């Protein structure tokens, strides 16, 4: 099973959308293996988004991501990295179709509610950046065979 790193950004927390978004991910059948409610230090936000350093939106992005608590998570599922990118919708919510998290619930790129890893390497890097091994649970769920054969 593949794992991905997800984050409900400060706007999702402030708008009371954690339950709505987690409900969609749970209903899909993906399995949570780690969760932490935290305020991201500036240095960690900069490392997480290192690929965007130097771009015009970078300072605003770091300010946004450190402006309040976030929910950082690791979830597991069959082809979950691409699956979650589809469920999230495009980076700009105005390009994200209805039915996606960003398409249904957000208006602007700078307030797009959720982060999800974009590939296996970034998932590994991001999981290691935010979690220790003992914070990640390997657990069996009795419903697993009803989601994946």
Which residue in 133, 126, 28 sits closest to 77, CA to CA? 28
73 Cβ neighbours under 8 A, 6+ residues apart: 5, 6, 7, 8, 32, 34, 35, 36
What residues from 13 to 72 belong to the interface with ligand IDP (CB under 6 A)?
Answer: 52, 57, 61
What, of Mg ion, ligand IDP, none, does residue 122 touch, CB below 5 to 8 Å by kind?
Answer: none
Distances 67 to 42, 52, 107 between C-alpha atoms, Å = 10, 18, 19
Binding mask 100-139 for Mg ion (x = CB under 5 A): ------------------x---------------------
Give me the catalytic one of 5, 72, 115, 130. 115
Question: Between 77 and 93, whose beta carbon lies closer to ligand IDP?
Answer: 93
Residue 52 annotated to the active site: no
Can you give the binding site for Mg ion, defined by CB under 5 A?
Answer: 118
């Amino acid at each position: 099973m593949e794992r991905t790193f997800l984050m409900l950004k400060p706007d999702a927390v402030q708008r009371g959308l954690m339950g709505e978004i987690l409900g969609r991910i749970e209903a899909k059948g993906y399995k949570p293996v780690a969760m932490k409610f935290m305020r991201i230090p500036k240095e960690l936000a900069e490392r997480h988004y290192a690929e965007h350093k130097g771009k015009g939106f970078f300072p605003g992005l770091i300010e946004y991501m450190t402006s309040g608590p976030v929910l950082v998570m690791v979830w597991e599922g069959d082809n979950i990295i691409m699956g979650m990118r589809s469920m999230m919708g495009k980076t700009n919510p105005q390009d994200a179709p209805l039915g996606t998290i960003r398409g249904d619930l957000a208006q602007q790129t700078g307030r797009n509610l959720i982060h999800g890893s974009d590939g296996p390497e970034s998932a590994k890097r991001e999981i290691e950046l935010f979690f220790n091994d003992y914070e990640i649970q390997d657990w069996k769920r009795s419903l697993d065979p009803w989601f994946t054969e």
